[in-house]
Structure 1
């Protein structure tokens, strides 16, 4: 398939996804494949939480809407305009996907196909249905995709390169197992926010979105705050109060109760509002239902620290206090050109 043809099909996929909203699934008669896929996708969304307790309809819809917004002609053009996508030697690229948030591996899937390569996919046991469904939709649009998309259940074989996502522990296994293959191995990363006390109530409420979306399970979720000494957390707690319903989800509530109990038994000092605990800690990775915080004295010193520890950080939220930071409430809305771990996946695929 030529580049424009592939792009056309992903634009059509974006139109298909754009029909599905949390408040109203709106059938658009002009969208291709609705007779085969629309009702089945509605049912899959509603069943997702039975497959994975963290995949609430609200979060699945959020992921779908994010990809619908991303898969437009203008976004795809802006993303690929700086690359030469002519591929005379297509490769078979293995993807080992995570399952922490819905469709977390879709960007890698898209990148492999848009560069003219074939993809071998090993899904996470936590996310086995959404991506295969979208792959079937693409194949229905163009049977050529059937030659380029393969899902594997057992051992992955006959591939030229690999992109694998996992924990720091599994990353060591991946690095050893795929040592003879070109690879991108993704490890644990977390996102942070740097505050100085001048943030508006609206910004702090938006920060709640960065913390609670997907229950904090994504690498783009804010799991740590850097605040100046003497910072008052009262405005922060007041601003995020609208997210209190998160405690009504049983899996989240169980984590809140457990992690709070562990902290208290260890005599850690906590700040707590009934659905989120704040703990002073130097680590970037906080458990579900908790956010760590650390005090800073000087912003320049903090910026140097963050640069030195950039391999642990996915993105930084601030009111332009830190270089290359993003706005409050935007962590779960990356552009197509915002690469995980700041590794350009397209360049990797084109030069491997």
Structure 2
């Protein structure tokens, strides 16, 4: 199977997904195998939401739109241009996926197949409806994929390498269990934003997307702010207020109420606006509906701190401060070459061939 065939298959998959990525689902007559798969995928979208209350149709559409924008000829070519992907010695690569946001493991799935390997997927029970259906679509539009994609709910067996994502606790288990195999093991990380007090209203509105998208469940969601001493949060609260309907979502509201009760009973100081609490805390991982913050006095000392803590951090959102910063509003729109935990999965996959 040639690289060009693999690329073309994923381009067609992106075109198929484009029918479902907008507010109104629109069937396009030009999509290959559409009569076989269109109605079925609509049903899978419904099942995904019914199975996992965090997977609202809005958040599923956001995820699909991100992949529609990524799976283009120009993006795939740009991503793969630095690598020699011809004559790869195909291996069986196992992927253990998280289930915190819709299709969170798709980049690993794509990376394994696009580099010429076979994939064995163990999904999270929280996100089990979408990917198998998309895999079946891939097999129909590119028959060479048949026999190269498999899913299991059992113990992983007969694989040559593994990419596993989980919590800090499961990561320790993965490291022990897979110690004899080439592996990428990912654990908990969080994203932070560094503010100076000179941000525009648009900057802060964009930041709210980094905070609230997917209810803050992703490792790329901002869970903590670093702000200068005596920072005034009024402009921040005003700029994020358009997200207030989020409190109408039952699962989010339950978390908000619970965490607020805990903070009040513990007599913690906090600020809140009816749908988000912000609390001074040195931790990086904040609970749902809560944002931690920490003051800084010297940006250079802050850079040293974040460098020391880099293994806990996925993204740093700022404006003209950090070399590898992510712009406000862009954490949930990574490019194909923006690798989780800054570990290049393509280089890893080529190293095992």
1:42-57 → structure 2 map (5 Å cutoff): 42-57=42-57
Query: Counterparts in 2 of 1:29-44, with a 5 A limit?
Result: 29-44=29-44
**Which whole-Å CA distance do the structure 1 matches of 2:332 and 2:321 have between them?**
20
Matches within 5 A, 1:294-309: 294-309=294-309
Quick one: distance in 2 between partners of 1:231 and 1:88? 54
In structure 1, how many angstroms separate the alpha carbons of the residues matched to 2:59 and 2:207?
A: 17
1:187 positional shift: 0.4
- 1:5 aligns to what? 5
Task: Check the 8 A contact 1:85/1:115 in 2, yes or no.
Answer: yes
| Distance across 1 between alignment mates of 2:56 and 2:350 | 36
Large movers: runs of 4+ above 3 Å = none
CA distance in 2, matches of 1:218, 1:18: 23
**Counterparts of 1:225 and 1:33, CA distance in 2:** 47
1:37-81: CA deviation from partner (whole Å, max 9, x where unpaired): 111212222332111010000000000010010000000000000
TM-score with structure 1 length normalisation? 0.99
The answer to whether the 8 Å contact 1:269/1:279 transfers is yes
Would the alpha carbon gap of residues 245 and 84 (structure 1) be closer, same or farther in structure 2, given more than 3 Å must change?
same
TM-aligned CA deviation for residue 323 of structure 1: 2.1
- How many residue pairs end up in the alignment? 352
| More moved, 154-163 vs 136-145 | 136-145
Work out the CA distance in 1 between the residues paired with 2:87 and 2:62.
34
Q: Note the 1:153-164 alignment, pairs <5 A.
A: 153-164=153-164
**Structure 1, unaligned runs of 5 or more:** none
Q: Does 2:244 align with 1:247?
A: no
Q: 1: distance between equivalents of 2:59 and 2:43?
A: 15
Q: Deviations over 1:64-105 (max 9, x none)?
A: 010010000000000000011124421100000000000000
Partner secondary structure for residue 314 of structure 1: strand
Cα deviation, 1:156-206, whole Å, max 9, x if unaligned, reads 100000000000000000000001111000000000000001001111011
* Mean CA deviation greater in 96-105 or 12-21: 12-21
In the alignment, the residues of structure 1 paired with residue 263 and residue 229 of structure 2 have an alpha-carbon distance, to the nearest angstrom, of 22
Alignment partner, residue 283 of structure 2: 283
Structure 1 residues 1-352: aligned runs within 5 Å:
1-352=1-352
SS in 2 for 1:175: helix
Q: Distance in 2 between matches of 1:230 and 1:165?
A: 38
Does structure 2 conserve the Cα–Cα contact (< 8 Å) formed by 1:45 and 1:61? no
How far apart in 2 are the matches of 1:350 and 1:113? 12
Please say if residues 206 and 329 of structure 1, whose CA atoms lie closer than 8 Å, have aligned partners that are also in contact: yes
Quote how far apart the aligned CAs of 1:26 are. Answer: 1.8
CA contact (8 A) 1:220 1:331 kept: yes
Normalised to the residue count of structure 2, the TM-score between the two structures is: 0.98
62-71 or 142-151, which moves further after superposition?
A: 142-151
